[in-house]
Amino acid sequence: MIPRRFRLLAVFLLSLLLMIFLSGCWDEHELHTLFIVTGVALDESDDPEKMDITVQIAKSQSKSSRSGDTEPQENYIILLKNKSGTMMEGLMEFNRDSSRTLMLNHNQVLLFGSSLAKQGIKDHIDLFMRDQDSRMEVLMIVVDGRGEEALAAKLSQDRISGMFISRVIRTMSSVSSYYQVRMLDFVSRLLEETTSPVVPIVTVTKKGKMEEIKITGMAVFKGDKMIDRLSNDETLGYIWAMGDVKHCNVVTSTEVGKAVFQIIKLDCKRDVKIRQDGGIGVKLSVNTTLSVGEISGFSETTSEELMPYLVKIAQEEIKRKIMNSFETARRLNADIYGFGTSVYRKYPKEWKSMKDSWDEIFSDIELNVQVKAHIPVTGQITQPLGMKEE
């Protein structure tokens, strides 16, 4: 008979052992058994029940092949394509047909072809949210045309187009974080019911043997369906209205001269109120600090007049752009600004009755934009060359 003491000890040790061996182990995957996915594109398929899935994989270069200097571009990436009803099926098929397992951890971008985006994307992103391998931080991009083209694009700047797009977006996020739409942001805006998500849209153009990928604006979604797009100019108005600007230029052009300002700081206070007639009035007070980036012309203006004039044209330009993009949003009847959420936060009781008819109320919004700019910095010189001294 084993003493009770030892039995207890044995049970304790055994449970410790179980703790060790019932965890961990299973998710060991050596690097050379993995395909590092750098981009996933979903496109409309000719079969209405299915979609085209394209996966871009960064191909690891072994030491010997790296030494060769003239490598064909195709060798840097592997594109896998298939057609399936759900994302999971597609991934399973990829794993079955390829020598390695797909690893979604480092997926950089999730691309949607514009035609698929117009049909709605809600059903396709479930896996990316549910699966523990893929991250909610993956960037969402709409591609003008088909997404697979963007993944297959040969670029002069970067070998892997998925990496390229994510780098471009991250560079743009130094302008405003609104360019960087992660799946997390997209979903949280989708959950706000009345708010329309916006997602950067890129266009692939041919340029000789290579291709170019450019951000050409923002795709506007109504619910999960893409309805239209904002141009780059309208996008600026949108991000200024949202008040989240880091480094951005305000380009103005008048008959007397051109001036480009750099935004040092831009605050946009939003004040919503219910009008007498039941509609909503929104007051945006933009408070911005600018610095003079570049001036040309203004040879007729005296140096005393110059500064107030510059302030004036900067204010007008900011207001014009904001109004411009708002008019587009009103035309599309898409609340890209989240005014609905602001109303809900301020008037939670009244919101209940407004919620269902928000589309009509949105198109009737009275927008009042007040811009206050001041320019404390003119850069290293105060006046442009050849200005009249007074």
Instruction: Name the residues that contact other proteins, by CB under 8 A.
Output: 20, 23-25, 27-32, 34, 36, 38, 58, 60-64, 66, 103, 105-106, 108, 133, 135, 163
Q: Which residue has the tokens 């396709």?
A: 124
Instruction: For the CB of residue 129, give the shortest distance to other proteins in the complex, in Å.
Output: 16
Query: For every residue of 234-252, which 3-state class applies, written as one string?
Result: HHHHHHHHHCCCCCEEEEE
Q: Is 32 or 209 the residue whose CB approaches other proteins more closely?
A: 32
151 three-state secondary structure: helix
Instruction: For the CB of residue 13, give the shortest distance to other proteins in the complex, in Å.
Output: 10
Instruction: For the CB of residue 181, give the shortest distance to other proteins in the complex, in Å.
Output: 19
Q: With CA atoms as reference, report the closest residue to 336 among 202, 189, 217.
A: 189
Instruction: For the CB of residue 66, give the shortest distance to other proteins in the complex, in Å.
Output: 7
Q: Is 31 or 385 the residue whose CB approaches other proteins more closely?
A: 31
Q: Is 1 or 25 the residue whose CB approaches other proteins more closely?
A: 25
Q: Is 11 or 20 the residue whose CB approaches other proteins more closely?
A: 20
384 three-state secondary structure: coil
Instruction: For the CB of residue 28, give the shortest distance to other proteins in the complex, in Å.
Output: 6
What values do phi and psi take at 22, rounded to 5?
-90, 5
Q: What value, to the nearest 5°, has the Cα angle with vertex 157 and ends 69 and 176?
A: 155
Q: Is 71 or 305 the residue whose CB approaches other proteins more closely?
A: 71
Q: Is 133 or 359 the residue whose CB approaches other proteins more closely?
A: 133
User: How far is residue 225's CA from residue 353's CA, in Å, rounded to a whole number?
Assistant: 25
67 three-state secondary structure: helix
Burial zone of 206 (CB within 10 Å; 0-12 exposed, 13-18 middle, 19+ buried): exposed
Q: Is 61 or 363 the residue whose CB approaches other proteins more closely?
A: 61
User: How far is residue 54's CA from residue 366's CA, in Å, rounded to a whole number?
Assistant: 44
Hey, what are 39's tokens?
Answer: 């981009």
Q: Is 100 or 330 the residue whose CB approaches other proteins more closely?
A: 100
Instruction: For the CB of residue 160, give the shortest distance to other proteins in the complex, in Å.
Output: 9
Instruction: For the CB of residue 111, give the shortest distance to other proteins in the complex, in Å.
Output: 17
- Bridge partners of 51? 44, 84
Q: With CA atoms as reference, report the closest residue to 120 among 27, 48, 211.
A: 48
Residues near 291 by Cβ (< 8 Å), separated by ≥ 6? Answer: 261, 262, 264, 375, 376, 377, 378, 379
User: How far is residue 114's CA from residue 228's CA, in Å, rounded to a whole number?
Assistant: 10
Q: Where are the alpha helices (DSSP H) in the chain?
A: 4-21, 63-67, 87-97, 114-119, 126-130, 147-152, 161-172, 183-191, 232-242, 303-332, 339-346, 348-355, 358-363
Q: Is 3 or 208 the residue whose CB approaches other proteins more closely?
A: 3
Instruction: For the CB of residue 19, give the shortest distance to other proteins in the complex, in Å.
Output: 9
Q: Is 71 or 300 the residue whose CB approaches other proteins more closely?
A: 71
Instruction: For the CB of residue 301, give the shortest distance to other proteins in the complex, in Å.
Output: 50
Sheet with 257-274, edge to edge strand ranges: 248-253, 257-274, 280-297, 366-377
Instruction: For the CB of residue 137, give the shortest distance to other proteins in the complex, in Å.
Output: 11
